[in-house]
Amino acid sequence: MKICYFDTIGGISGDMALGALINAGVPLDDLSADLKTLGIPGFELQSRHIERSGIVATKVDVVLAEPEQHHRRNLTDIEAIIDLSALSARVKDRSKKIFREIAKAEAAVHNTSIDKVHFHEVGALDSLVDIVGVSLCLEKLGIEAVYSSPLKVGRSGQVNSQHGKLPVPTPATVEILKDYPLMLTEIPYELTTPTGAAIVKALSLGVLSTELLKVSAIGYGAGSREIAQLPNLLRVLVGELDPAYRTDEIVSVETNIDDMNPEIFPHVVEKLLAAGAHDAYLVPIQMKKGRPGIMLSTLVSRIKLDEILSVIFRETTTLGVRIHPVERHKLQRTQRQVQTSLGLVTVKVVVRDGREEFNPEFEDCRRIAQDKGLPLMEVVRVIEKELEESSTS
């Protein structure tokens, strides 16, 4: 699987991400031509080389023919611009996901709804070009998944905004990065901007060790200022994950319960899985004073943690949970539609020791058993036998 890894040496912003991806091999002319399909006239994309700590990086600028009049664009306005363009469906989807992360954060900071948020600086033309441009670059590089390092943020400084002076990191940046790994520094500058944070939060599957990546392309994007404490750079690594397995970081959420009707637990597990948990399970335990209890355990991506906690506190009697980071190694797996003698079946394909293994989806087997009036065990046996025969033929 081809991935892009954002190595946030000096943080991340929209223009740094765009510059790094261009530096990694996206032709500027091709990118500019595709951006014109947004239907917004009066801008030109320019790039130049800047040296940071002896490393040559790309600095991208959106040059306006005339200063843009201030636009109070909301999420609906921006999504309409994107939807009406000739961009691919995947580019549109990625771009809108990034803007939605910003809208959710601004809504939380200003105590309003996302449809009432006006983007101010982020809605300006250069930010729109940065976000859509990053999505286009990922498409042109054939990127299937995005990962990152923990995002560096500055502290103790201030930045100017439409709302006056704001602390560093800005409230929107902190809100966006809830449940995503970040690294606090004592650098008094805005290392990670709301746009940069939203790109990672919306697109990244989490933190990944670079040692697992077979690198095919490297790009450096430059920030606007020199910073004495570190190179003001974003590095992107493009390449293939180790074919043996994929690695990501999830969290384990646990709580012990001894005062709840046990008939409710299956409902809780169902709600957790519907909220995005990778897994949810129950373990019988003995608690203090010899009372029998249940340990409810859930595995979930950090970006879904808030939803999972909401379910646990709403649907159970617990007053607290334990949260542990978990590194997960997974065999490569895909899904495939396979025609069998009993009908079309969705099959999980797992690669183990270089050999494909096929496992039919249980719900498809159950559907076939109900439709044909056959025992479920017989349906599973027949389909597994046919899959095994097809894999060895």
**pLDDT at site 164:** 56
Q: Using DSSP, state whether 63 is helix, strand or coil.
A: strand
**DSSP state for residue 142 in the 8-state scheme:** T
pLDDT class for 353, splitting at 50, 70, 90? low
Inform me whether the pLDDT recorded for 19 exceeds 80.
yes
Q: What is the per-residue burial (b if ≥16 Cβ within 10 Å, else e) of 97-115?
A: bbbbbbbbbbbbbeeeebe
**Which uninterrupted H or E stretch holds 90?**
helix 89-110
Q: Which domain holds residue 351?
A: 333-392
Instruction: Count up the domains in the chain and report the number.
Output: 3
**Are 205 and 67 within one domain?**
yes
**pLDDT at site 327:** 84
**Are 66 and 182 within one domain?**
yes
**Are 383 and 324 within one domain?**
no
- Written as one letter, the residue type at 250 is I
Higher pLDDT, 299 or 353: 299
Cα atoms in the 13 Å half-sphere on the side-chain side of 161: 19
**Are 153 and 30 within one domain?**
yes
Q: Using DSSP, state whether 60 is helix, strand or coil.
A: strand
CA-CA-CA-CA torsion for 129, 132, 134, 138, nearest 10 degrees? -150
Q: Counting runs of H as helices and runs of E as strands, what totals does the chain give? A: 11, 18
**Are 48 and 116 within one domain?**
yes
Inform me whether the pLDDT recorded for 271 exceeds 80.
yes
How are beta strands 322-331 and 355-360 bridged, if at all? unpaired
The last residue of a domain, from among 199, 215, 243: 243
pLDDT class for 209, splitting at 50, 70, 90? low
Inform me whether the pLDDT recorded for 122 exceeds 60.
no
**Are 145 and 164 within one domain?**
yes
When mean pLDDT is compared across 46-55, 61-70, 166-175, the lowest value belongs to 61-70
**pLDDT at site 123:** 46
**pLDDT at site 168:** 67
Q: What is the pLDDT of residues 299-339, one digit of tens each?
A: 999 889 999 999 999 999 999 999 999 988 877 777 888 88
**Are 38 and 181 within one domain?**
yes
Q: List the Cα angle 190/192/193 in 5-degree steps.
A: 80
**Are 78 and 227 within one domain?**
yes
CATH number at residue 252: 3.30.70.1380
Structure tokens at 49: 């080389």
**pLDDT at site 119:** 64
Per DSSP, the residues of 277-339 read -SEEEEEEEE-GGG-EEEEEEEEE-GGGHHHHHHHHHHHS--S--EEEEEEEEEE-EEEEEEE
